[in-house]
Structure 1
Amino acid sequence: MFTRTGDEGTTYCSLLNERVPKDHVLVELMGSLDEANSFVGLARSLVPSYMTDVLADLEYIQRLIFRVGYTASGRVSVTEDDLRRLEDMADNYYGRHPLKNFVLPAGPSPAAALHVARAVVRRAERVMVRASREYKIDPLALKIVNRLSSALFALAVYVATAMGYPEEPV
């Protein structure tokens, strides 16, 4: 189905309830969150089925990314429990394989996809900070996006190690 309403470079922004240019900071924020969520989904599709804890955590992360988008619109959809869960998740996976060095963002396909998701989340965080200068963004959502990239990094390193990929220090 084609509405053709975006042919002139505008789109409907549900956060503002109006049409805005497609390069509007809030459209960019939602697009970055969507892109990150898609890469988490890609990683999830590649994670071996025996890694049930990783798969469950990735599904939680995907649902959380959607809720972060709702929170950016002024609807409270994230909680301190979400923040703690991400911190616990990162600590758990870091604890399974503590890093001694910076590592190249590589590894088997699921780990590499998680590294890409992490980088896209970092971009979403930068856009969120920029958006917060002009729009009311829940500070908790910003904290969650910051912790999300840490959790994704810890997951990527763990998945790579668990799949037998050697650490590549920088």
Structure 2
Amino acid sequence: MVVLSKIYTRTGDKGLTALGDGSRVPKPSARVEAYGTVDETNATVGMARLHADGEMDASLARIQNELFDLGADLCRPNREKDHEAEYTPLRMVASQVDRLETEIDAMNARLTPLRSFILPGGSPLAAHLHLCRTVSRRAERLAVELSLAEDVNPEAVKYLNRLSDWFFVAARIANDDGTADVLWVPGATR
């Protein structure tokens, strides 16, 4: 259980922050950038939920919780030392990626195939889901960059990759099952 009785600690005043294993790193480190951008993704999902209801809102609520799980995974380095932790570290698992794929397939089955690229927009929910998509893509790029230098759970990277796809297809669903998608017209202003 998390207990936050004091919000400011002054421990970061010199530009360092604590990771999940207690080690301290500079705030602009690749690991902090990666899980910080996952947190930013979560905030964009919260904005999208202002326009969602029913099944879509429930799915977005689940994703928000999983993004916290993902942040916990990314903020704890050294998976090989997980057995030494006083509690079992939270790690993303393949079943979370599989579930996203199943949901993407189910949503996509409702849509006609694309014949053009889509511009972010349409309904307010779709526009917000496109923002979720782009921020989650940035989180993925940062997680991949981190994985080139440090140990990263491969399921965390896979989750981010599928999540941005999920947001894309969900945006089409939010645009009246794709009928209200805003299509790109190449060279329209030439």
Which residue does 1:129 correspond to in 2? 144
The one-letter code of the counterpart of 2:43 is S
- The residue number in structure 2 matching 1:57 is 59
1:33-78 deviation line (CA, Å, top 9, x unaligned): 000011111111221x3xx111111111111112222333243532
Letter aligned with residue 180 of structure 2: P
- How many residues are aligned here? 165
Between the aligned partners of 2:179 and 2:48, the Cα distance in structure 1 is 16
How far apart are the structure 2 equivalents of 1:100 and 1:60?
Answer: 31
% identical aligned pairs: 36
Contact 2:92/2:153, CA 8 A, preserved across alignment: no
Change (3 A) 1:54 1:130: same
Equivalent residue in structure 2 for 1:78, among 92, 100, 114: 92
What corresponds to 1:114 in structure 2? Answer: 129
1:141 to 156, 160, 182: 156
Residues 39 and 113 of structure 1 are in contact (CA less than 8 Å); yes or no, is this contact kept in structure 2?
yes
Match of 1:2 in 2: 8
What residue in structure 2 maps to residue 68 of structure 1? 70
Amino acid at match of 1:148: L
2:21 is aligned with 1:21: no
Q: Give the Å deviation of 1:97.
A: 1.9
**What is the one-letter code of the residue matched to 2:115?**
K
Q: Where does structure 1 lack aligned partners over 5 or more consecutive residues? A: none
Give the greater-gyration-radius structure (CA).
2
The separation in 2 between residues aligned to 1:35 and 1:165, in whole angstroms, is: 29
| Structure in which a larger fraction of residues adopt helix | 1
SS at match of 1:35: helix
Q: Hey, what does 1:93 align to over in structure 2? A: 107
Change (3 A) 1:167 1:147: same
CA offsets 1:140-161 (integer angstroms, 9 cap, x no match):
2111110010001111111122
What CA deviation, in whole Å up to 9, does each residue of 1:82-134 have, x standing for no partner? 11110111112222223332100112222111111111110010110111122
Q: Quick one: distance in 1 between partners of 2:158 and 2:100?
A: 10
Residue 182 of structure 2 corresponds to residue 168 of structure 1: yes
2:171 to 129, 151, 156: 156
TM-score with structure 2 setting the length? 0.79
1:104 lines up with 2:119 in the alignment: yes
Unaligned runs of 5+ in 2: 1-6, 80-88, 185-190
Q: Which amino acid aligns with 1:67?
A: D
The letter of the residue matching 2:129 is: L
Give the deviation of 1:3 after TM superposition.
Answer: 2.8
C-alpha contact (below 8 Å) 2:91/2:153 kept by paired residues: no
Task: Tell whether the 8 Å contact from 1:107 to 1:165 is kept in structure 2 after alignment.
Answer: no
